[in-house]
Structure 1
Amino acid sequence: INLGSFNIPQGGVRVYAGSRLLQEGYDYVVDYMTGKVKVINPALLESSLPIRIETQNNSLFDFATKTMVGTDMTYRFNDKAYLGATAMYYKEQALHSKVRIGDEPVANFMWGVHGGYNTESNFLTRMLNKLPFYSTNDKVTIDVRGEFAQLLPGHNKLIGEKGNAYVDDFEGSKQVIDLRSPRTWFLSSTPNGQPNLFPEANKYGSLEYGYNRADLSWFVLDPSLYNSGSPVSIKERSNPYVRRILEREIFPNQQQQIGTSAISQVLTLHFDPTARGQYNFDTDGVAGISAGIDSEGKLKKPQTRWAGIMREMPITDFEASNVEYVEFWLLDPFINDPNSKGGDLYLNFGDISEDILKDSRKAFENGLPTTNNNYKVDETAWGRVPKIQSIVNAFDTNAIDQQDLGLDGLGNEEEKQFFSSYLQRLANISPKAYEKALKDPANDDYLHFRDENYDSKQAGILERYSNYNKLEGNARSDNSASNFSTAYTTYPDVEDINKDNTLNEAENYFQYHVKISPTELEVGRKFVTDMTTVNASFADGSVSQENWYQIKIPLKEFEATFGNITDFRSI
């Protein structure tokens, strides 16, 4: 569990299961440096008790680069006299320009000179011997030394010429849960309880449950597609929706932190409501559920189709953590089609079913049989599911190709037999779609965006990522033609998003609705709170203006609730 802070003081974490205070080292362990808690008591993992965490945040801690250089030089005129100089420079580099009083980054210079003279004097010896009570033959040594130093204090120019420090930083007090990482998102189940939007959601153990699932890919662009030697053409890299976006374009007044990239990490979602999604076996359609496909294999009535992704939240108690908004910036989706009717974005927060292929059976790839085990499986409408319980989340390393088959538990050849009736219906409607489906009947084959098949035909970026989120074969790496791993993950795909070793089928959630259309994307309408126009620079050297819209959704302004949910304490 990520606590959202780091360098937590030792002993500054308390974990509760319900109202019971847990014991550190027995029920959980804490990484105080990175701010992470790991629950190690299996009884707690199997229970349904909500976990609540209290932390003491050492907010003044910060990483900073410090530089110190100095020199010391001494020149000897002879054996008796010398003169020297010393210089030292010390500088602290802050991560950002907002620093609190007492934490200002210094830039100090200190210099100094030193010298000395040493000699023997017979004159002083003779003078001492003239004293009536004193006599000596030793020589008198004269040793004179002197030093001078001066400190010239200063500060890092990052905080301004005169040095600006803040009594408090209200912006810095905001904690952000970053949801942009594409690998934390998974194919979603069909939301239940909304027959107007999802009439197929109650089709338990039936392929009809996936009839309206359209194609969706989600990704963050890989830098290799833009570096020298990229297989993607300059024209394709100049597409506004897949170009490289710099942070300063959207936030020109935001100062880049040390050690961070100037390229903005943008989560791209590409939704095609006419294209068939994973595990969609719709052909002729079903009255009241789906409209079927046309002769080209496209989904009819795209306005009735949907696609979705889901993930677990690192913080489950939104009320205790003061999570109040969902906020994101959206690039104008209608640059190329300003007259589009648009679409709808729905956000659901709460308990979401993990049963992606609805049959109340937990599918997990590492439970499939191989030549090294005798695991038993059952057959459902979707394919094969293990009969054993999942213990560890890992493949049989010597038989990954026999287990990395996707959630249906079937390879392509097995899918041809298992879904033969679907293929026969498809052949009667669309021979073109049939030829494509014959290679991958479940439409779940993974393909890396740098696959040589894409390179050979100079495929565009959206095409390269069209199969990147699919499940069959996504843990197998082919390094024969590249110097990097082509696997998406090293873990088995499993219907267990929050990794609690159970299949959660409960659906209790708040729903939020954002209308995405040219007329609705105006500041002041619904959840659109801001807009900025940027001068976008493209790979072909051209410059064009783009609009980015800030969508800010207060969690308390939900459109509807489904199931038994009344608060934000268990999300």
Structure 2
Amino acid sequence: MFKNVYYMGASNISKEGFAVRIVNQRQNPPSEYDMGGKPYITQFGLDSLNESGVRQADELIDMENSSIVNMVSGELVFPTYHPFAYDSLAGGNKNAELQNVLGLGKMYTTTTQTEINNDSRFEMQIEYTNQSSNINLGFMIVEGSEQVFVDGLELKRGVDYQIDYFSGTLVMNEDLNPNAQLNILFDKHEIVSFDKKTILGTRAQMDFGDRSFIGATALYFNQSVINEKIEVGYEPTRNFIWGVNGRYEQPLEGLTRFIDQLPIINTEKASSFSIEGEVAQVMPNPNSINNPETGDPSGVAYIDDFEGAKRTTSFPIQRRFWKPSSPPLIYHSNKTLSHRNRAKMYWYNPYVQWRTKDIWPNQETSIRAQNETTDILVMNYKPLANQTHLPKDSLWAGIIATLYSGDYDQTQTKFFEIWLRNKNGSRSELSVDLGKISEDWDGNGTLNTEDIPVAGMIGDGLLDDAEDVGLDGCADESEDGWGGCLQFGETYNELLESGNTALINVADDIDPNDPNSDNWNYDEGTNDYKRINGTEGNALDAGRYPDTEDLDRTGFLDKTNDYFTKSFTLDDTTYFSGETVKDGQPTGWRLFRIPLSHFEMIDSTGNQEWNEIKFCRVRVTDTTQTWVQIAKIELVGNEWQELGVAPDSSNSYSKANSDSVFAISVINTEDNANYAPPKGVKGEYDRINEIRSKEQSLVLKFDNLSPRHKGAALKTLVNVTGDRAKSYLTYDKMKMYVYGNSPWIGNTETKVEFFMRFGLGEDYYELVQPVYNGWDETENRNTINLDLNWLTQLKLQDSTNVKKLNDTDTFSDSANIKSYTFNDENGISTGKQIKIKGAPALSRIKFFMVG
């Protein structure tokens, strides 16, 4: 067996984009460079030539050397037989620079996986692209529904590709350029569908003799969907077709005999009289969903109802996902707060869940939806007896949770949101840390784990009875009361009785039988949660998995502290966003919304980035006891992209320092007690769960926006071609409800304008109109009700043939921009204006912009 040849996972690998890295996982942090900055790929002999073939390492694998890499077979070959063992065996790696970092070569001498894992040091990371002619689309493809595009050119079935509709396997007949853009659109049969289709047909016919009849045909098709709200392009249709046809035919025997008597003429067939006719009508309804409450009885589809505008990354509320945290860094310092200043904290989910309506009274619930009750997370913080004299900002206790790797990137996130209830009215300080946070809970610099390995540093991942001693790694009698273990065989009680207390914590509330307070105990159904987070003796609670400091399960202790931090008091008003109300009384459940732009780097010289948010730590600071109840923790972004701020005459938006001036968020009927939607607008009713969802609006928030400046948000539509492309040509109106709330907005006068732009590239329609207070439902000046038929006609007209809605309106056409201004009866502008730039089309709308 070749122990220096590695299969890279694919064959026929393209040289473009191919890269190999060898990473030392034992370095902190793991790196592809040794401590002297030299790349391991060079030290292992995979890089000795530059791209010109000159003997000079360039930190790139020598892919032209077939003795090192075979791109066709996908094999990577090391120049020594045992590359990961330093000369301890024949054929071992003889590079002296690797002597102190290579293992013993267990992978070459044993089949015991535990020993191999414990000896492991390096990881190979390979990036490449390769060609594959087989593409799996999933089972049950609708026959004939697929559309295959390569770089925008549609391919033909049977010529360019083959497809098995049942298995969903599509096979390309020709190899594609690896850089080609391949788009495949298709429909799938639903195994379970709650939508309905009704197809009815009837035919009635009356015969008059053998050759005459009159008949009628009726066909009915109705497609209904379970959703009350549907998007443009997914409308349910209803069609009715009726038709009447008939035929009358009468033989004319006398005429036949008469013609036969004429000279020269001899008929071969009998003469007859025949008349036949048919009339039919199609009565189509391309959208059968209506909303008479908003004055829309002829089909309604949504471009965006903003119910899905809020994009969230949610942290779990279940206590098992939260672990005791390492001490935080002191702001802009490499020093951490003392472990000995860690206050007592236990966190838990109450055995009896909260009624959801006691937290969010406006949220609809049902037994079928299983949302009548909600878990909450309670943090109970209490300084030890000997800590109450310490400065407030030196005391702390916190818990930490991990994010899934797919959620690390939070560059598009705008807010940190937390729903909490301050049970005892404390003014304690709550701090939130986001980023790369040390896993070293007790600060001893080594990975604490109950998983005792047979040999080396890694265990088997299962908890044996003898291993269940807690994260401190020692039994109760050897605990020091600070979270660590006593050395040299002393016991806590021996030192306490002898008066030699320098090594132990002798606070009045320390239990000598469990000095570190890490013993697990909970009697189900009781309210005594003090020991529910214990790691010693918690085998049944932890599911027989060993407790470990390795939160992200990489096998190593991460001691990096590169994170963002923000603190606020529990009675804070700056970030207080709202409180729910039940029966006219506040519930105590408050939403705090903190812009991520207000978070600060814990170390001004660090490498904090919002695309590497691995952990969230929540910690409390105070000298008094605090109960914090938490219902929800989320990182919140938006489907709409903030463009920033720009002068009114410019389309060049700047995001520099714009977060404090312009921001987008959402407001809804569940979270915001003071929100009332416009008349007739409501959340969608879920027929399955028998509840109505929240109704939600997009919020454009401006603060100290400079005069004659604007802020804007953009939504880019999914680029779909062919029959699935969204078109607004079948609709007569485009409606939007706008709410005004500002000191600059009144009932009769306003200094604020709203604009909406939609189109493709530099071809677009734009509507600008003033904003008045509230929804302005009396005069409907805030409601956008755009006549799309008139709008498309306006695009084709000029000043000589423009069709004005009012005689006093004005129209101009210059510099590729048409402008239509709405005036009152005296010819004074109402502030409402429509601009058309270029040649936009309702069948080619790719973006919407509002501001």
- TM-score relative to the length of structure 1: 0.54
- Corresponding residue for 1:204? none
Distance 1:413 1:402, change over 3 A: farther
Distance across 2 between alignment mates of 1:409 and 1:563: 36
1:354 offset after TM fit, Å?
Answer: 0.5
SS at 1:191 equivalent: coil
Q: Give 1:388's aligned amino acid.
A: M
1:421 aligns with 2:421: no
After superposition, where does 1:93-242 map in structure 2 within 5 Å?
93=226, 102-103=232-233, 106-113=235-242, 123-124=250-251, 126=253, 130=257, 132=260, 133-135=266-268, 148-157=281-290, 162=296, 175-182=311-318, 183-193=320-330, 201=338, 209=339, 212-219=342-349, 225=352, 242=354
Identity of aligned residues (%): 19
1:505 to 535, 540, 559: 559
Equivalent position of 1:269 in the other structure: 378
**Equivalent residue for 1:368?**
452
* Structure 1 residue aligned with 2:575: 527
Correspondence for 1:406 = 470
Displacement of 1:498 in angstroms is: 2.6
Match for 2:356: what amino acid?
R
Task: Provide the C-alpha distance between the structure 1 equivalents of 2:255 and 2:530, rounded to a whole number of angstroms.
Answer: 102
Work out whether 1:568 is the aligned partner of 2:609: yes
Question: Using the alignment, how far apart are the partners of 2:246 and 2:468 within structure 1?
Answer: 83
CA contact (8 A) 1:512 1:560 kept: no
Q: What residue identity is the alignment partner of 1:322?
A: Q
Q: Could you say if the C-alpha distance between residues 516 and 317 of structure 1 is closer, same or farther in structure 2, counting changes exceeding 3 Å?
A: same
Inter-partner Cα distance in structure 2 for 1:245 and 1:138: 86
Q: Which amino acid aligns with 2:443?
A: K
The answer (yes or no) to whether the contact 2:468–2:536 under 8 Å persists in 1 is: yes
| Equivalent position SS for 2:581 | strand
How many residue pairs get aligned? The number is 412
Query: For the Cα contact (< 8 Å) 1:510–1:559, is it kept in 2?
Result: yes
Q: Tell me, in whole angstroms, the C-alpha distance in 1 between the residues paired with 2:532 and 2:271.
A: 93
Distance 1:500 1:191, change over 3 A: same
Distance in structure 1 (CA, Å) of the matches to 2:255 and 2:520: 101
> Shift of the alpha carbon at 1:414?
8.7
Q: Does the 8 Å CA contact 1:415/1:441 hold for their aligned counterparts?
A: yes
Q: Which AA in structure 2 matches 1:505?
A: K
Q: Structure 1 residues 210, 192: closer, same or farther in 2, change over 3 A?
A: same
Question: Contact conserved, 2:346 with 2:531, CA < 8 A, in 1?
Answer: no
Which one of the candidate residues 417, 420, 434 is aligned to 1:327? 417
Distance 2:604 2:539 in 1: 36
Deviation (angstroms), 1:352 = 1.6
Query: Secondary structure of 1:177's match?
Result: strand
Contact 2:337 2:394 in 1 (8 A): no
The structure that is helix-richer by fraction is 1
Alpha-carbon distance between aligned partners in 1 of 2:225 and 2:290, rounded to the nearest angstrom: 10
Structure 1: distance between partners of 2:269 and 2:567 = 105
Specify the alignment match of 1:454 in structure 2: 524
Question: What's the CA shift string for 1:331-367, capped at 9, x where partnerless?
Answer: 3x15xx5xx55211112234321111322221233x3
Q: Secondary structure at the match of 2:419?
A: strand
Q: Is the 8 A contact 1:92 1:107 kept in 2?
A: yes
Distance 1:138 1:474 in 2: 103
What's the secondary structure of 2:378's corresponding residue? Answer: strand
Q: Contact conserved, 1:317 with 1:568, CA < 8 A, in 2?
A: no
Amino acid at match of 1:271: N
Distance 1:341 1:404, change over 3 A: closer
User: Would you say the 8 A contact 2:215–2:246 is kept in 1?
Assistant: yes
Query: Contact 1:330–1:548 (CA<8 Å) still a contact in 2?
Result: yes
How far the C-alpha of 1:156 sits from its partner, in A, is: 3.2
Corresponding letter in the other structure for 1:214:
K
Aligned to 1:344: 429
- In the alignment, structure 2 segments of 5+ residues that lack a partner are 1-16, 22-30, 33-58, 61-70, 75-121, 127-180, 208-212, 261-265, 500-505, 614-851
Q: CA separation of 1:152/1:355 partners in 2, compared to 1, >3 Å: closer, same or farther?
A: same
Work out whether residues 324 and 441 of structure 2, in 8 Å CA contact, stay in contact via their aligned partners in 1: yes
Distance across 2 between alignment mates of 1:426 and 1:134: 134
SS at match of 1:310: strand
Change (3 A) 1:176 1:124: same
Q: Pick one of 358, 366, 372 that aligns with 2:443.
A: 358
Correspondence 1:91 to 2:165: no
Aligned equivalents of 1:445, 1:508: Cα separation in 2 = 32
On the 8 A contact 2:290/2:300 being kept in 1, the answer is no
Does the CA contact (< 8 Å) of 1:327 and 1:550 recur in 2? Answer: yes
Mark the CA change 1:516 to 1:161 in structure 2 (over 3 Å): closer, same or farther. same
Gaps in structure 1 of 5+ consecutive residues: 1-13, 27-40, 46-55, 202-208, 227-241, 277-282, 293-299, 370-374, 377-386, 477-486, 537-542
Instruction: Answer 1 or 2: higher relative contact order, Cα 8 Å, separation at least 6.
Output: 1
Q: Evaluate the alpha carbon distance shift between residue 167 and residue 142 of structure 1 in structure 2; reply closer, same or farther with a 3 A threshold.
A: closer
**Aligned positions of 1:73-92 closer than 5 A:** 73-74=201-202, 85-92=218-225
Name which one, 1 or 2, has greater alpha-carbon Rg: 2
**Greater share of strand residues, 1 or 2?**
2
Letter in 2 for 1:212: R
Distance 1:475 1:147 in 2: 76
Whether the 8 Å CA contact 2:357–2:372 is kept in 1: the answer is yes
Q: Distance in 1 between matches of 2:582 and 2:280?
A: 59
Q: Which whole-Å CA distance do the structure 1 matches of 2:346 and 2:469 have between them?
A: 20
Which amino acid counterpart does residue 381 of structure 2 have in structure 1? D
Given the alignment of the two structures, is residue 72 of structure 1 paired with residue 200 of structure 2, yes or no? yes
Q: What TM-score results when the alignment is normalised by the length of structure 2? A: 0.38
**Aligned partners of 1:323, 1:496: CA distance in 2, in Å?**
27
Match of 1:444 in 2: 518
Structure 2 distance, partners of 1:489, 1:516, is 35
Computed over aligned residues only, the root mean square deviation of the Cα atoms, in angstroms, reads 5.8
Write out aligned runs for 1:256-295 (5 A). Answer: 262=371, 267-273=376-382, 290=387
Task: Call closer, same or farther: CA 1:535–1:170 in 2, change over 3 Å.
Answer: closer
C-alpha distance after superposition, 1:506-539 (max 9, x if no partner) = 324343221124xxx33xxx333x2234106xxx
How far did 1:555 drift? 3.3
Q: Aligned in 2, Cα 1:309/1:432: closer, same or farther, shift over 3 Å?
A: closer
Q: CA deviation at 1:171?
A: 8.6
Q: Distance in 1 between matches of 2:274 and 2:521?
A: 87
> In the alignment, is the contact (CA less than 8 A) between 1:355 and 1:503 conserved in 2?
yes
Distance 1:314 1:83, change over 3 A: same
Distance 2:552 2:198 in 1: 53
